[in-house]
Amino acid sequence: MPELPEVETTRRGIEPHLLQHTVKQVIVRQNQLRWPVPKNLNKTLTNKRVLQLDRRGKYLIISFENGHLLLHLGMSGSLRITPPNTAPRKHDHIDWVLESDHCLRFHDPRRFGSVHWTKDSPYEHPLLIKLGPEPLDTEFSGQHLFNKSRKRKAAVKNFIMDSHIVVGVGNIYASEALFLAGIKPSQPAGNISLIRYDKLAKAIKKILRAAIKQGGTTLRDFVNEQGNPGYFKQKLNVYEREGEKCKNCNSRIKKITLGQRSSYFCPRCQR
DNA sequence: AGTGCGGCCTGTCCGC
DNA sequence: TGCGGACAGGCCGCAC
């Protein structure tokens, strides 16, 4: 579900509620997520203060005095700040109860999300250490994509969704960025020129910034920390628009499957 | 080393 | 109204 804009929206939303606040209790109702929830989270975090909130790719990093919590929202995860005495709903798996009795509440029907605890630098964590650059950093460029893609036969859409190449580009924004760049998603990554990768890198930055500005994309269940949807869906050019008219040329949007994921493109605007 | 699949889960929707 | 199957914002781990 959540790609980079949704995770960043969540980070910005929960940050003011957590910074410098102290955890009173951790309640784990379901510890079978993508990986088992670390044991003794309650003991580890009781009376510990939140010092910082960061994001690396689609991971949220909540730093405490004694270590770092890594959170991944998977396909269907969301985090909300709930007022005191809000009864948990189905699939509300974990509460971090603050001194004010507000909770940071993790909700995830499909349980593809995960929670990790590390005392070391979070960026050294096995799941983070091999990640590619942040797409909104200056080191992410067309040159980077070009260099990494030489001799690679995989479809360019799969290539840009590989978090070892660049983080944060999921199924929606990969399709959307390729539309903006005029590149057909099934093109082998190794065949694409530097000039076209420059366009693609710029398109990825543009689409992610625009989506963050709109509070992310809500197709089905993404909600921010207040439980409200994001509004980028209205700006989607191709995603889930199979058979509808291209906003640029009126051709019909096509849907194909790449790497077992639905992919959408305009057969006329994208080559 | 790169690529392509299976699997982890629940909810929803569609066709029969 | 019920039931099976396909599909859904991710991504690791494993074969080849």
**Position A193, amino acid:** S
Other C-beta atoms closer than 10 Å to the C-beta of A220 total 8
Q: What is the pLDDT of residue A221?
A: 81
Q: What is the average pLDDT across A153-175? A: 97
Asked whether the beta carbons of A245 and A254 are under 8 A apart, the reply is no
Give chain C positions with protein CB within 7 A.
7-12
Q: Are strands A67-72 and A23-28 parallel, antiparallel or unpaired?
A: unpaired
DSSP state of A123: G
Footprint of strand B, using CB within 7 A? A 32, 34, 76, 90-91, 109-112, 152-155, 158-159, 189-190, 259-260
Q: What is the average pLDDT across A123-148? A: 96
Q: What is the pLDDT of residue A220?
A: 85
Catalytic residues of A: 2-3, 58, 261
Q: Is A32 helix (H, G, I), strand (E, B) or coil?
A: strand
Quick one: three-class SS letters along A202-237?
A: HHHHHHHHHHHHCCCECCCCCCCCCCCCCEHHHHCC
Q: What is the average pLDDT across A128-148? A: 97
Tokens at A255, concatenated: 């849907």
Asked whether the beta carbons of A156 and A187 are under 8 A apart, the reply is yes
Mind listing the pLDDT tens digit for each residue in A176-220? 999 999 999 999 999 999 999 999 999 999 999 999 999 999 988
Q: State the Cα–Cα distance between residues A55 and A43, nearest whole angstrom.
A: 25
Q: Identify the CA nearest to A12 among candidates A171, A169, A213.
A: A213
Q: What is the pLDDT of residue A1?
A: 60
Other C-beta atoms closer than 10 Å to the C-beta of A154 total 15
Q: What is the pLDDT of residue A196?
A: 98
Distance in angstroms: CA A242, C1' C15: 34
Alpha-carbon separation of residue A83 from A45, A53, A227 (angstroms): 20, 21, 12
Q: Is there contact between A177 and strand C, defined as CB under 7 Å from any strand atom?
A: no
Q: Specify the pTM.
A: 0.97
Q: What is the pLDDT of residue A214?
A: 94
Q: What is the average pLDDT across A53-76? A: 97
Distance in angstroms: CA A43, C1' C7: 40
Tokens at A146, concatenated: 């070009």
Q: Is A256 helix (H, G, I), strand (E, B) or coil?
A: strand
Q: What is the average pLDDT across A78-82? A: 97
A194-213 helix and A4-18 helix, angle to the nearest 10 degrees: 40
A194-213 helix and A142-149 helix, angle to the nearest 10 degrees: 120
